[in-house]
Structure 1
Amino acid sequence: MFHTSFRSKIYKNWLFDVLYKISEHPSIKGSYNLKDDVYLTILEEIADKHYKKNKSDAPNFFENGQSTPHYIFNYLDYLLWKNWDKYLDKKENIFIEKNQFRFSLSRTSIEHYLAQNRTSDSIVHNFGNLCLISPHQNSALSDYETTTKRSFYEGASKRFDCMSLKQAIMLSKENWTEKDIEEHCEDMKKLLDTKPSQNK
């Protein structure tokens, strides 16, 4: 998640944060023995910290369209994966299985699921209408209707193992309306604002 979000080969601040937190943790003092659950907790705390910093640095955080940091999408995908039973273990999700999901360096384009030329500016840049996809997917889908996009993935889902979980939720709706965008945004905001330790 961190590596696919922060791609600089020179500055790995997130890695420094991880190593520092590990070195300072009481359980490692003199033993160099870090338990899996402790390591996971450290990673989740750092992930949550990065999310909160991104949110505090940007006004109208959930309405920034293509200026939304890619990290937010990747962090959200982790939370969705962790809470799979609640968000994706449904018959409507025919696009990806839990063991298929991977973080991917190829997801670098922010797509407006309801295309920019098909709705008002007041809703099109809403976080609920956005997902992170590959440039190949973006160029293939262009400004098609959401029903056309859904059909495209229904016929080609096995070729897109880099699909994000947020995108899978959006595709699970047969129709995608402004109301769906607003409701999806609120659901994702609530999940993001919940500490990872309080999730499953």
Structure 2
Amino acid sequence: DALPILNKLFSTVNSAGVQLEQTDIVKANLLNLIDEKVKYGKIWEACENMNNFFERNVRLSFPSTDWNIVDFKKYYEFDGSIFRYESTNKNGINSDDTLIIIEDVNMNDISDYQHPTKNILGEKDRKSEEIYCRSIINFGQLLIHTYRLHLYIEGKEDFEGTFHVNRLIEIFNSLEARKDPNEIKRFFQLLWKVRYLFDKYVIKWITDIDNKTESLELVNFNKNDKGYYSRTKYAKSNSSMLQSVLYFTGDYLRQYWLTTYLGYLLKNHSDSDATNEIHLIKLEEFDNQFSLNDKLTDKDLSYLLLDKEATVDKTINIRTYLELNKGTAFKHYWFQKLEYILWKNWDSTINTQEYNNYRITSRNSVEHIYPQNPENQIQHPQIEDEYLHSFGNLVLLSVAQNSEYSNKSFRVKKSMFRDRRETYDTLKSYYIFQNDNWNKIEIIKHLETMISKIEEHYDAK
């Protein structure tokens, strides 16, 4: 009985020295209910390593495939006649006989979940110019997103309870309990599709080998004359910027927007590029619907929006909210969303290096441009809270940037902003520091300008 081990992950080691996690137990339980265990086990295996590109995983899991005749970009659906594997292990024993079943696990050797470490397969076979990636979610999270899509496609309700990888076994209990081999196979086939779409259309952390930094990118890949695939980063795009906003402002452990967006792509990807304008428009639409409703949970909303006919009530008025004087209590989402809107609608005549280098990054500290406790009280006499804590007087920065600015005067902050040569702190800051002075009048003007830009974005949908 798996119930005593819910919300735990396995770190027991089986006789082969393989560390077991909840994903392994779910895999074993599902394979136990179907035939063609090796084939479906290989499909799972190919999807499993999230810190490697899907095509590389497939190459390792299906080594007998003739890659010279395969254009992987066309294999959104698994084709068993194309992707080949050896069905016996080195000892000549059929791999089906070596599958782990839940009864084999020592229930006393269970430990809490550990985040998977970066594990790049086939390292020695890589070319030096190859791109390295790190996923924005782990495999357990991908399984849950896929299972939600599976439930929707099968005409069933979303699973009950919280979306959390520590509940993985419990979440999949219902699929196991139905004991329908064909349904389980459909889930495995869907997992392949979802992993394919995730790799093609969703941002991932890409390492810059030269300066040892990571950035969120959409990646394109093309086949070379040796049957291998080279990858290139797309130029910064509205698509990658909006996905960055969603990643940094969403629930880190869940990323609910992925359920909705991947569900849309399952039906509508049309094999188009990741930066396709039609896909961007749809993602903007989903994002707007999420941001204007505070009555439904993000979990409920993400499942509801899988239905293209669904209507979502707008329970948040942007202007009413942003005209409050909430100070540090403003949701960080609205700062990051504004950055996206400003980036997308940037005046092309302002072609600065700082703008070209700009990225949406993790920011968690709200800074008051007109200082709360000014160092120079002659330049900055105390002003009323409605101006001091207005959205018009605030920017969202990194903690380090915020501490640098501290309670310095507007002119000092402006000078510091202009001295940064690499990129702008924020695009909102750029607009603020176009002013020569900063007082109640400028704060109100800036607030109105920013709210109008946000409203224009929403009204365009």
TM over 0.5: yes
In the alignment, the residues of structure 1 paired with residue 367 and residue 343 of structure 2 have an alpha-carbon distance, to the nearest angstrom, of 20
How far the C-alpha of 1:114 sits from its partner, in A, is 0.7
Q: Relative to structure 2, which stretch is displaced further, 115-124 or 176-185? A: 115-124
Match in the other structure for 2:22: none
Do 1:22 and 1:42's aligned partners in 2 also have CA atoms closer than 8 Å? Answer: no
For 1:3, which of 247, 266, 269 is the aligned residue?
Answer: 247
In the alignment, the residues of structure 1 paired with residue 449 and residue 290 of structure 2 have an alpha-carbon distance, to the nearest angstrom, of 20
Match in the other structure for 1:99: 356
Q: Given the superposition, is the C-alpha separation of residues 84 and 111 from structure 1 closer, same or farther in structure 2, using an over 3 Å criterion?
A: same
Structure number, greater radius of gyration: 2
Q: Given the superposition, is the C-alpha separation of residues 59 and 190 from structure 1 closer, same or farther in structure 2, using an over 3 Å criterion?
A: closer
Give 2:401's aligned amino acid: Q
How far the C-alpha of 1:45 sits from its partner, in A, is 1.0
For 2:421, which of 123, 137, 158 is the aligned residue?
Answer: 158
Post-superposition Cα deviations, 1:130-173, rounded to whole Å, max 9, x if no partner, equal: 11111111111111111111112222x125x3611111111221
Match in the other structure for 1:46: 286
Alignment of 1:105-120 (within 5 A): 105=362, 107-117=363-373, 118-120=382-384
SS of structure 1 residue aligned to 2:367 = strand
Alignment of 1:7-156 (within 5 A): 8=252, 10-25=253-268, 28=269, 32-34=270-272, 36-53=276-293, 56=316, 60-62=320-322, 63=324, 64-85=326-347, 89=350, 97-105=354-362, 107-117=363-373, 118-155=382-419
1:170 aligns with 2:432: yes
Q: Given the superposition, is the C-alpha separation of residues 196 and 120 from structure 1 closer, same or farther in structure 2, using an over 3 Å criterion?
A: closer
Structure with the bigger RCO (C-alpha within 8 Å, sep 6+) is: 1
Match in the other structure for 1:190: 452
Q: Given the superposition, is the C-alpha separation of residues 22 and 123 from structure 1 closer, same or farther in structure 2, using an over 3 Å criterion?
A: same
How far the C-alpha of 1:126 sits from its partner, in A, is 0.9
Instruction: Count residues in correspondence.
Output: 185
Post-superposition Cα deviations, 1:80-135, rounded to whole Å, max 9, x if no partner, equal: 1111118x839xxx8x6331110112x21111111123421121111111111111
The alignment's TM-score, normalised by the length of structure 1, stands at 0.80
Do 1:132 and 1:167's aligned partners in 2 also have CA atoms closer than 8 Å? Answer: no
Post-superposition Cα deviations, 1:6-31, rounded to whole Å, max 9, x if no partner, equal: 251x2111221211232344xx4xxx
Pairwise CA RMSD of aligned residues?
2.7
* Structure 2 stretches lacking a partner, 5+ long: 1-244, 295-314, 374-381
The alignment's TM-score, normalised by the length of structure 2, stands at 0.37
In the alignment, the residues of structure 2 paired with residue 142 and residue 14 of structure 1 have an alpha-carbon distance, to the nearest angstrom, of 35
Do 1:44 and 1:196's aligned partners in 2 also have CA atoms closer than 8 Å? Answer: no
Give 1:38's aligned amino acid: I
Moved over 6 A (4+): none
How far the C-alpha of 1:65 sits from its partner, in A, is 1.5
SS of structure 1 residue aligned to 2:356 = helix
Match in the other structure for 2:154: none
Post-superposition Cα deviations, 1:29-78, rounded to whole Å, max 9, x if no partner, equal: xxx42451111111211222233236718995212211111111111111
